[in-house]
Amino acid sequence: MTTIAPDYVKTDLGNIQIAPEVVEVIAGLATVEVPGVAGMSGGLANGIAEFLGRKNLSKGVKVEVGEREAAIDVSIVIEYGNKIPEIASEIQRNVKHAIHSMTGLHVVEVNVHIHDVHFRTAEVEEEETAVTTRVK
């Protein structure tokens, strides 16, 4: 595990170190706050962790952290019916603001990768069908 360079956050009382995993969690939370994001898209390891009951708050997030800058990649699932460019722009703004305000890092880029589309109406219809067949 690497941390932000100690000379960046030296104080009279000592050093402050922020692990890259913290930046990942901040980016993940800032992403799912945006309306129209159905969820994060992670790989096999994230799926296994969720299956075992562990919530991974950095799912679908990759970061590169330097001394004073960070680059972020987020992989998302978008809700059907939303304008992808608008949602992606809002994610970029929200992630950049959250990371800068909480860590002081300058965010040089936020790349948004859309991996899937979530159809909410199909799930609702399936649930209604399941309920009616059990009642008969």
User: Which CATH superfamily groups domain 6-135?
Assistant: Cation efflux protein, cytoplasmic domain (3.30.70.1350)
Give residue 108's pLDDT: 97
Per-residue pLDDT of the chain (136 residues; tens, 9 = 90+): 455 544 456 778 888 888 999 999 999 999 999 999 998 987 644 443 444 444 677 889 999 998 889 999 999 999 999 999 999 999 999 999 999 999 999 999 999 999 999 987 655 556 666 666 666 5
Give residue 1's pLDDT: 47
**Cross-strand pairs, 131:** none
Calpha distance 47→76 (Å, rounded) = 14
Domain ranges of the chain: 6-135
Give residue 15's pLDDT: 81
H/E element, 132: helix 120-135
Contact between 111 and 74 under an 8 Å Cβ cutoff? The reply is: yes
